[in-house]
Structure 1
């Protein structure tokens, strides 16, 4: 069970590194390597997490929300980009929304798969 979540965390970290490298590549084009590696590893790990049984809606929601939040925070810290109070409220709202979807998914009955 923990393997799937570790894969998802790895996917988040790799995607965030890829995105941060994308911003860094503006000043130092060599960071393009980090962009490619980050996104390839991120998508590969996300696919592996899905293969371990995490529902795609949950995995993608967590991956996207965590990525947005981490990139916004790291961009403010590393690149001095503005992170206003309203933006922080938005990030908290996104994370809360993903949490609500996650808990709702855990208690929802499973849909039957129709075979053709």
Structure 2
């Protein structure tokens, strides 16, 4: 698998994970069938795609991108869709996570560009 396809699959894996997490909130602790089903499908698809990506990218790199971007997007969904708030330490923490992913991708020799 070439690098462009791997990053495309990683993007889809991130999107499905974030979508699954949004529906996790709507599942009301797995008591609502439709949101629960969507959550499970999204998580299974996300992990399947992440596993495919690890054929090309090192697991540490792929997981860091998946987790870091997923955290930032999930926090954004929480703000917009669920009217949740973040305090300054939470925002700083998320920015540090995203900064770490950027540093790793730009400067690390572990990522094959």
- Normalised by the shorter chain, which TM-score bucket? 0.7 to 0.9
1:63 Cα deviation from its structure 2 partner: 0.3
The counterpart of 1:74, out of the listed 73, 77, 82, is: 77
Q: Map Cα deviations across residues 12-44 of structure 1 (whole Å, 9 max, x no partner).
A: 001111111101111871200111011000000
1:107 Cα deviation from its structure 2 partner: 6.5
Q: Which has the larger radius of gyration?
A: 1
Q: Distance in 1 between matches of 2:61 and 2:76?
A: 22
Unpaired runs of 5+ residues, structure 2, are: none
- Residues 87 and 13 of structure 1: CA distance in aligned 2, closer, same or farther (over 3 Å): same
1:105 Cα deviation from its structure 2 partner: 2.7
Root mean square deviation of aligned Cα: 1.8
Would you say the 8 A contact 1:73–1:83 is kept in 2?
no
Q: How does 1:14-25 map to 2 (within 5 A)?
A: 14-25=16-27
Per the alignment, residue 38 of structure 2 pairs with: 34
Deviates further, 93-102 or 57-66: 93-102
Q: Distance in 1 between matches of 2:50 and 2:23?
A: 19
Give me the TM-score of the superposition, normalised by structure 1: 0.84
Q: Map Cα deviations across residues 29-60 of structure 1 (whole Å, 9 max, x no partner).
A: 12001110110000000011111x11111100
Q: How does 1:1-116 map to 2 (within 5 A)?
A: 1-26=3-28, 29=32, 30-51=34-55, 53-106=56-109
Unpaired runs of 5+ residues, structure 1, are: 109-116
Aligned residues: 107
Give me the TM-score of the superposition, normalised by structure 2: 0.86
